[in-house]
Structures are given as structure tokens and as C-alpha cells.
Chain A
Amino acid sequence: MIRKSILLATATFFMATAGSAYAASARDNISIVGSSTVYPFATVVAEQFGKTTSFKTPKIESTGSGGGFKLFCAGVGVEHPDITNASRAMKKSEYDKCQANGVKEIVEVKIGYDGIVVANSKKASPLKLTRKDIFLALAKNVPDPSGAEKLVPNPYKTWKDVNNSLPAAKIEVLGPPPTSGTRDAFVELVMEEAAKGFPFIKAMDKNDFKAAAHTVREDGPYVEAGENDNLIVQKLNANPDALGIFGFSFLDQNTDTIQGSFVDGVQPTFEAIADGSYPVSRPLFFYVKKAHVGVIPGIQEYLTEFTSEKTWGEDGYLSEKGLIPMPDQERQQYQSDVKALKPLMMK
């Protein structure tokens, strides 16, 4: 009796497996992977898309930009994702890998901008920083304070040491770990730019420059707080002297408790990031596999939903979630490129 039921169960299972293996050859929902920064925006669009059309809601995995490209470029076919989100542009090496695996035509869609903010609790007053201040406070090696043209281990303990006009509070910055796309962008947009302001660092050869500009100090003032921005916000509330580094959308959600610091005289507001006067902002993208359009149902319609004014426009629902829209002209440009599925060319 028991043996029979075991046999029956096994048989049923294998039939189910065979049946579903057949079903898997025709996937009917869009599969999206990629950046955790784009995830909160993409999920909102996906949900709207699922509700307002007859297509299934796309599935979105948050794998990070690099992990997303790896999955995306693995090949063409239903078992590979159709779209990958990225908080940076595709690299040449990733493009080559895509080509080598048969992913020939890729459509690049820029969706808008995300500002990176340096914020603190509203219990303290907002800081007026420059990128040079941030570099001097956070780099592992900084130019000798005595004026000699060499790098010394970072001696600064308080913001006042860095710049006399700043308060005498201890330097304590909570930020993302090196695996994060936010960290990459922060290093590139703030640290590197500031390092270029020192002629002797700028004159270094490429590798030395990178080492000087990209290395963040490890002696305590910079605290790697993990990828959970919620946690950073809570810690800022508990410690008014601390600063935190994260995406603008998080500042936007928590304006009741935290405030963005001025960077080079500009406060990170929606308008300042949109018109480009706030210096620390980066574009966000997603990439579409052209070979899947028309094979997986709904990709074309998802693209239309994403690139419509009510989604990514000035008053679109993505702007309510903290995405900074592109200027009108750029938006129209991408909209028509997406309509024509213009493939990305990288030489």
C-alpha cells in the first residue's frame, strides 16, 4: 500500500516535471535583473504595467548592476533575462561578452538621474561642504597639510581640521561598501573630481592617480554601513554628528528627519539635480535584449509604459518616488530611439 502510493507520487512528480519543462519553453512574463538602485523605480513601473495591461507583471530581481550584466549577457533564449537595470553605463568588456555569447543587439534606455547625497540629521544644522572637503576628510592619503607636494596618511580628525569654516565635530561618515554602485559613483564624482584639483596628483600616472583618488580611509571615520539605506537613516537620527551617503530617493522619503548637505554651494533638491547644478548625480539605465522583443510577450509595451510622459516625465509617477527626470529633449530622443529599438553600438 505504502509502496504503491510512493510509486504513484513519484510518477506524478515526473509527469509534472515533464509537463512543466514543456511549459518553460514559452515564458510569458518579462524577466528583469540588475541594479538595486533602479529596482525601486522598475518595480513601480512593472506593477503599473501589470495592472493596466493584459500582460503578466514582470519579475524583477535585485542582483546589482554587475551581476545583472553577467546574467543578461549569458545568452539569448527564454532562460536568460530580457532586461537588465544598471546604475552605470555598460562597460566595453561587458558589451564584448554579450557579443561573444550571441547577444548582438542591445537597446540602451536612459531613464533619468539619481543624485547622491551627503546627509545628516535635522537635529544638527546642514553642513556646507565642498568636494575638496569631502576628499580631504575621507581619502586614505591626502596632500601634506604643510604644503609639500606629497601624500601623507590622513591626519584629520574633525571637520574643523579640514576646513576652518566647518564645525569642530568628529568626522564620521556612514556610506556604502565597495561592492555598491553608489560607492563607485561617489568615488568617481566626488573623490576623483576633487583629486584633480591638486595639480601634483593630477600629474601622477594613471595607476598612482587611481590609488590616490579612489582609496577611502580605513582608520574609522568612514564606516561601511552595508547596502541597507534604511539602517543608515536610523543611525543618522541616533547620532546628529554623523553624515550618511546614499541615493536621493532615500532623502526624498525621509525629509522629515534628515537633510542634505550643501555640496559646492548647492543643496540636493529635486530641481538642483534636474538642472545639473548639484554636482553629484549619475544617470540610470536599463538595457533590452532586442532578440527577445516579439518573442516574450509585452516587452514592447513595457518599454512604451516606461518611456511615456506619465511615467518618467516631470510630473510622472517615478518622480514621486525620487527619480530625477531627464531634460525634455533628451527624453524625446530616448523615446524615439526606444520606439525604433535602435541598437547600442560600442567600438
Chain B
Amino acid sequence: MNNATANGLPPGRRAIDIVNAGLSKRYRRERRFRLYGISAILASLLFLSFLFGSIISKGYTAFQQTFIRLDIFFDPAILSQESLTTANYPGVVKQSLRQMFPEVTTRQDKRMLYGMVSNDAAFQVRKLVLDSPEMIGQTLPIWVAADDDIDMLMKGHFDLDVPESERRINDVQLAWVDRLQQENRVEKRFNRTFFTAGDSREPEQAGILGAVMGSFYTLLVTLLLSFPIGIASAVYLEEFAPKNRWTDLIEVNINNLAAVPSIVFGLLGLAVFLNFFGLPRSAPLVGGLVLTLMTLPTIIIASRASLQSVPPSIREAALGIGASKMQMVTHHVLPLALPGILTGTIIGMARALGESAPLLMIGMVAFIVDIPGGLTDSATVLPVQIFLWADSPERAFVERTSAATIVLLAFLIVMNATAVILRKKFERRW
């Protein structure tokens, strides 16, 4: 009673009564506040699942490819021993198609018939013959990749209810495909080409290995350069540098660089690395250098934050028992800060992996078939490959664009997951 009067409350009304009166309102507010949070997360999950859903539903079919079984007669008349490398291999494939469909006679129909299988079939036959010339004279069943239009048909990407003139596959071709299916000559298999080939203008022969290798070499250069340089600058700025106007200026500039649009680094790379130093165009070396410039600020900032979180007592203890400043850094501070530094580096690398704009300026947006084998070979990277395919008119590139995106996302998820695991495993709290 006394404290009620002491608080200036009217008699008979305790503090707890006021609290109780407002309690349900407070609970409601609390619930609403949580609800906002949950709905924000739900919304972002919804967008994310929409993105993944649309990419995966469009792209998963690209991991399969339609194959057709042909009975190839290795005709000794065409494959004369002396010129096996330059023989008329397309002729061999065409001949076997003609034998399977003897009723096809007009020129236009024949062209349509030859168009059913990929023109890679001829190269496949060539490889077989060159590997084992004793095949000549025999007839062997060979599975060859179907043309991209047939592949699209088998995967159900064409609406067959529309009139004949409005589809890419006409009734004659449909009848041929039906017949091939009845003879068990059509099969969908895992699309190995997609993972083992470089770019191609024919969708059924196009693969991402060239782009993956290009990304690998580019990131290798980026990592080898930005990791040591980033740590060295962070350690110096954090542990050795005096605090004055100059170091402030440097700090502001580093923070600024982290926010510069990436295309600017591409322009810089063009002016400095290509025009001034004369390094080769389209090379992963130059791409790596440009991406180094882009990731350095990220790594420096992350490393400095991580160094700052090491408690000063550890530094003082090391110095107190007579360690030099360098020993203090290399024996104690750096090992403790390393998990955070690694996390920052991996996140910087993940950003570099997904970058395409700066590479536009240094010629890495190009049609490159051969798989790069070194730092100065012409190469392209995964995001650029996705961009180039998205621009191609052939319909089969739609699913390949999505499939390449799935691969890129998989790499990103693995990298970011590594960063999280490293942090969880080695993180120390004081």
C-alpha cells in the first residue's frame, strides 16, 4: 500500500494493475513484431524458391540428351586407306540414314533426314575409324547424338497440337521419329558432352568445361594475388601503421574501392594490363588481375575486422614475455584471425566467380571452343558463357543456359558453405 502512495498512484490501484491493463496490448505488439520478421523471411524464401524453381525446372532436362542408334556401314569405297583423316565421313552417316529410310528420295526430304542427327556424328565415326581402322567393311550399331530440334521434341518442348506450318518439326519428321522409337533406336542418356566439351554453335555439342576451366584459372590468379596482398595490407594497417591523416586517407580509399562498380575495374584493366603492359587479350591471367583489383578491398576489410576482434591482451602478453612485434603477429594474432580472414577471402572469391562485366572490356566475352590449358590461353568464364547462350537463337540453348546457371549456383553454394563451416569450426570467442 505504502509504495502505491509513494509512487503517486491513486489508492487501491497498484503498479501491477497498470502493467496488467496494458499487458495484452504489449503481447499483441510483440506478436506483430515477430510476425513482421517471419513474413520478411518468408518473402525472401519465396523469391529464392521461385528463382531456383524456374531455373531448375527449365534446366534439368539439359542434363539428358537424345541419342539415335544408326547402323553404320564403314564403306571401304568411301574410306580408302590412304586418306583416312580427310575422308568423307558425313557421307558415311548419310548413307546409313538413306538405308534406314529408303523411301526418301527428294532433295528437300533428304536434307531434312540428314538433319535428324547432329553433324558431330561424322566426327564420331571419324574418331572410331582412326582408332581402329579394322572396322572398315563392317556394319556396326553406333549411338549418335540427335539434332537439337529432335532432342527438343523428345523432351516435350514442342507443342504438337499447333498446325504443321507453325512448328519446327513437320509431320514427315514426326513419322520418322515414331518409326525410330518403335525400332528402339531412340534413347535419352546422361548428357556427358555438357560437362566435357567447350562451347559450340550446335546446342547438342555445347558444353561448359571450357568456361569452368577459364573460371578456374582466373580465380587461381585472383586468389594467389589478392590473398597475400590483402593480408599484408591488413596486417600493416592494423598492427604497424601509425594513426595519422595518411592512414585515414588510405582507409577511406579502400572502403570506397569496395563500392566501385565492377565495370570500372574492367576499363582500368584494358588501359593498364592490355594497352600499357601488352598482356594478351582474353587471357585468364588478365581476367585474374582485374578481379584481384576488385576483390582486394573486400579481403582487406574482412581481414582488418578479423584482426581487430583479437583481444589486445593477447598482443600485450606476447610483447610482455619478449616477443618482437613480428613474432606477435605471425605467432599469435594472425593464426587467431585466420578463420575470419579465410571467410572474407572465400566470399570475395565467390563474388569474383559470378562477375562478368569487367571481363567484357578485356575480351573474355568471346566464342572459344578449345578448352584453355594455361594462364595465357584464350578463355571465357561461367557467367559469360551463360550470357552468350542466353543470346543464341536456337531453342535448345534455353535449357542449357539454365543448366549452366545451376552449375554456377552449385559452385557458389559450395564456396559459401565452406566459409560458414570454416567459421564455425575455428571461431574463438573471448
Contact = CB atoms under 8 A, between A and B. Distances in A.
A145 to B, nearest CB: 39
A47 B168 contact: no
Majority SS at the chain B contact face: loop
A17 B285 contact: yes
A254 B123 CA distance: 28
B366 A16 contact: no
Q: How large is the interface on A (under 10, 10 to 19, 20 to 34, 35 or more residues)?
A: 35 or more
B280 A59 contact: no
A20 B375 contact: yes
B378 A257 contact: no
Interface residues of B, number: 43
Contact of A23 (B330, B367, B376): B376
Interface in B215-238: 221, 224-225, 227-228, 231-232
A29 B165 contact: no
Contact of B374 (A20, A51, A56): A20
A2 B332 CA distance: 12
A61 B365 contact: yes
A256 B391 contact: no
Contacts of B378: 29, 31, 59
Contacts of A52: 86
B203 to A, nearest CB: 12
B383 to A, nearest CB: 16
A145 B282 CA distance: 55
Given A44-B201, A46-B369, A59-B366, A79 B280 contact: yes
Contact of B279 (A10, A21, A250): A21
Contact of A56 (B225, B274, B285, B370): B370
Contacts of B363: 61
A160 interface: no
B318 interface: no
Contacts of A50: 369-370
A230 B393 contact: yes
Interface string A194-207: 00000000000000
A279 to B, nearest CB: 25
Contacts of B37: none
Given A10-B228, A29-B378, A59-B282, A256 B330 contact: no
A169 interface: no
A122 B166 contact: yes
Nearest to B107: A315
For B225, B283, B285, B375, the residue with the greatest tally of chain A CB atoms inside 10 Å of its CB is B375
17 contacts: A2-B334, A3-B330, A6-B231, A20-B375, A24-B283, A39-B367, A47-B201, A47-B202, A51-B123, A56-B370, A59-B366, A59-B378, A61-B366, A62-B366, A78-B280, A228-B391, A254-B393
Interface of B: 86, 123, 165-168, 200-202, 221, 224-225, 227-228, 231-232, 274, 278-283, 285, 330, 334-335, 338, 363, 365-370, 374-376, 378, 391-394
Given A57-B369, A81-B281, 13 more contacts: A6-B228, A9-B228, A10-B228, A24-B376, A47-B200, A47-B202, A47-B369, A59-B282, A59-B366, A61-B282, A61-B365, A62-B365, A79-B278
